Amino acid sequence: MALVIAGNVVAMAPSDPAKVFRGRVWLGDDGLIDAVTPEKAPAPAGFDKAPVVDVKDAWVLPGLIDLHNHIAYNALPLWAEPSQKVSFRHHNSWTGAPTYQKSIGWPAGLLVTAEPEALLAYVQLRALVGGTTAIQGWPTANRQHVQVLRDIDEEKAGSTNRNLIHTSALTLPLLALGKMAQFENAGAGFIYHCAEGQPGSVVAKEFTDVGNAGCLQKTFIAIHCNAIAGTDWKRWAPKEKTGAVVWSPFSNLWLYGKTTDIVSARRQGVTVCLGSDWGPSGTKHVLGELKVARLASDKLGMGLKDDELVAMVTSNPGDVLARCWSRPFGRLVPGAFPDVTVLRPKGSGDVWSQVVAATEREVMLVVFDGKARYGDAALMSAAGASPSSTLTVAGIKRGFAIPDPADEKKAWTWADISGRLDAVRKDPAHAVKKADAIRRSYAGPMDDRKAPLELVLDMPGGGPQAALAMPKHPENVVVPPLPTLVHDKAFFKDIHGRGFHEGLLDGLAKFYG
C-alpha cells in the first residue's frame, strides 16, 4: 500500500542537504520512494487511494540508521566488570572477564534459545522507539522471521543476492580478510569490527591487516578503530576511495575510556557513521548515541556540528551502503528505500539541533519499507497501520505493528512479547526444556517458515562456543529483568560511577531532563 507523509521535509538530498521545506514524501508500494515534492505539487500517479499522514510542523527525516549493533544482546542491561579497576586494553581483554559469561554470554544464549522470536520483537521495538529503521548486527537465523527493520547485513536491494554486504564481528583470519577484499573488489561491502581498543594496543594491527589484505576501499565499513593512531588513517588512501568508520562513543568510553579519533578519520576523507553497539555497553538506540556523540565532540574538541551528527545516522551510512546496494539510501530522494522517521519539534534551535536533542518522546512515526511500524497512535491509525498494538512510551500512547509469528495477520502485543521474555527469566530451565521439545518435535526442513527459529549469537563467545559454554543446568543462569525501551532514570543510574568514561557519559541524562 502506498503512503504519503506531509510535513517539514528534511530530505537531505545530495543537491542541497540543508534544505528543509513544507512538502510531501510519496512512498510507493513498490518498495521505493516515488517522489519528494513541495506541499502543493500534484500527486504522482498511483497515489489516489494512498493515505496521507499530515505530521504538521514535525520533521520528516530519512529513517535513522544504526550501523553497528548486536541486537540479540539488546535485552541485557549495561555491564561493568566489578573486578576491573582500569580500562580494558582491547576487545579481547573483557571477554574473559570473571562475570562476562555469567552476565552476558549465558543470559543472551538462554534468551535466543528459549524465546528467539520474542527476543527479536523486543529488540526491534527498542530500535523503533528510537526512530531506527535500519540496523546492522542481526544474529544469524536458520529461516525468515518477523522483521520490521531493515537488516543491513542481509539486504538484497531488489536483487537475489544476500551477499551484497559481508559482516564479521569477530577478528578474521588473515586469509579470510583477503577473501573479503576480493568480495569488495567485486563491489560488495564489508562491515568489520576492527582495531577496537586502546590506542597503541596490540589490536591496532588489525587495521594494518585489513590494509594489507586490500580491504581499505570505498565499501569497507570499519567498526570502532579506536585503537589506531591519527596518522594511521592515512593508510586509507586516496581520500576519494575511503569508506566509512562506525563510531560508537558510548561503548568505547564505557570499556576503554578512549574513543575513535574522528578528527583524523574525517581529515582523511573517511565517512563517519554512528552505531549504538549493544545492550551491555551501548545506548538503547542511535537517537541516544547521537547525544553521546554530541557530548564526546564537545568534551574532546572534535568540533562536530549538529548537521554533521545527524548525517552520521542518515546520509553518511546511507551513502556508503548505497555503494553496495546500488540504490539511494539515507536520503529522501526518488528511488530510495521508503524508510522515514518523523520527529516532533523540540526547542527553538535549527532542525539539526532539534534532531540531536530529540528523545523517545519526540519520535512520532517510524516507517519501514513504506509501512508505518511505530508511532503516535493517531498517526499509526492515519497511516493505515493495521493491525497494531498499543504501548505507552515516554508518556504518549503509541501504536506498533509487529506481526505475531503464530499468526502474522495479528499484531503481537507488548504483554505477550515481554511476558514470554519474563517467563524465561523466571524459569530458565522450563523455558529451555519447552524450546527443546518444540525443536525435537519438528521434522521438516530447517529453512521453512514453520521450522523452529534458531539464532546464532555474533559476539565473542557466541556461535558454537555459546552452546558449549552454557551451564549444564539452565536454572543456574540469571537472566536480568527486561530493560525498558527508553533512556530513563534507571539507565542513567546504571551509568553513574561505572565504566571507564570518567563521568563524560553522565551528561547523557541532561538531554532527557
Partner 1 sequence: MATTRKRTSAKVARSSQPASPMRVRADALQDLPAGVGQLSWGERLSVLDAWVQVLDGAYAHLPLKRALYGYDPIRAIEHLRQQVPALNDLQFHRELATLINRLRDAHTQYKGPKSLEGVVASLPFLVEAYGPADQPTYVVSKVNEEAVRDKHFVPGVSLEWWNGVPFDRAVDLHAESETGGRPDARRARALESLTFRALGYSPPPNEHWVVIGYRDSGNRPREIRLAWQLVEPDRAATASRGGAMRTRRAINPAAEAVRRAKKAMFNPELWKAESKPARASAGTGYEDFLTARPVAGGKFGYLRIWSFDVDDDQGFLDAAIQLLDGLPDRGLIIDLRDNPGGLIWAAERMLQLFTPDPVMPTKFALRATPLTAAMASAAFNQQELAPWVESLTTAASTGEPFSSHLPITSAEQCNDLGQCYGGPVVVVVDANTYSSGDLFTAGVVDNSIGPVVCIGQATGAGGANVWSSDDLRAAMAAAERPLPPLPEGVGFSVAVRRAVRNGSADGVLIEDSGIAGQPYAMTEHDIFGSNEDLIAHCAELLEAQPWTRMNVKRKAGALTIVTAGLDQLDLYIDGHPSGETIFLKQDGTKRVPLPAKAGEVEVVGFAGGVVRQRRRLAAPAGRG
In the block, residue with C-alpha cell 553497528: 68
The residue among 243 and 317 lying less far from partner 1, judged by its C-beta, is 243
Rg, C-alpha atoms of the chain: 22
Query: Applying CB under 8 A, which of residues 110, 177, 265, 287 lies at the interface with partner 1?
Result: 177
425's grid cell: 527469566
What is the rounded distance in angstroms from the CA atom of residue 172 to the CA atom of residue 194?
A: 10
Q: d(Cα 153, Cα 25) in Å, to the nearest integer? A: 26
Specify the residue, 219 or 252, whose C-beta has the smaller distance to partner 1. Answer: 219
- Kindly state whether residue 159 participates in binding partner 1, applying the rule CB under 8 A: no
Q: Which of 283, 273, 312 is nearest to 17 (CA)?
A: 312
Segment contacting partner 1 by CB under 8 A, of 25-33, 213-221, 259-267, 440-448: 213-221
For residue 420, give the C-alpha cell: 514470554
The answer to the question of residue 235 lying near partner 1 (CB under 8 A) is no
Q: Which is nearer to partner 1, 216 or 273 (CB)?
A: 216
> Is 175 or 443 the residue whose CB approaches partner 1 more closely?
175
Please list the residues that pair with 224 across neighbouring strands.
Answer: 194
Interface stretch with partner 1, choices 126-134, 176-184, 266-274, 384-392 (CB under 8 A): 176-184
Of 144, 185, 208, 326, the residue at the interface with partner 1 (CB under 8 A) is 185
Contact 287, 360 (CB under 8 A): yes
CB of 263 to partner 1, least distance (A): 27
Does 411 participate in binding partner 1 (rule CB under 8 A)? Answer: no
Q: What is the spatial distance between Cα 89 and Cα 255, in angstroms, rounded to a whole number?
A: 9
The β-bridge relationship of strands 52-62 and 3-9 is: parallel
Would you count residue 180 as binding partner 1 (CB under 8 A)? yes
**Which listed residue (45, 49, 57, 175) binds partner 1 by CB under 8 A?**
175
Note whether 182 binds partner 1 by CB under 8 A.
yes
The answer to the question of residue 174 lying near partner 1 (CB under 8 A) is: yes
Q: Residue 342 is which amino acid? A: V
Phi, psi of 101 (to 5 degrees): -65, -40
Binder among 142, 212, 264, 381 for partner 1 (CB under 8 A): 212
Give the count of residues interacting with partner 1 (CB under 8 A): 16
Nearer to partner 1 among residue 180 and residue 372 (C-beta): 180
φ, ψ for residue 297 (rounded to 5)? -65, -45
Report, in Å, the least distance between residue 173 CB and partner 1: 8
406 is an interface residue for partner 1 by CB under 8 A: no
Rounded to whole angstroms, the Cα distance separating 258 from 485 reads 27
- Minimum CB distance to partner 1 smaller for 47 or for 190: 190
Q: How far apart are the first and last CA of the chain?
A: 39
Alpha helices in 12-151 (DSSP H): 100, 106-114, 116-129
Interface residue with partner 1, options 67, 75, 152, 181 (CB under 8 A)? 181
Binding site for partner 1 (CB under 8 A): 174-175, 177-182, 184-186, 209, 212-215
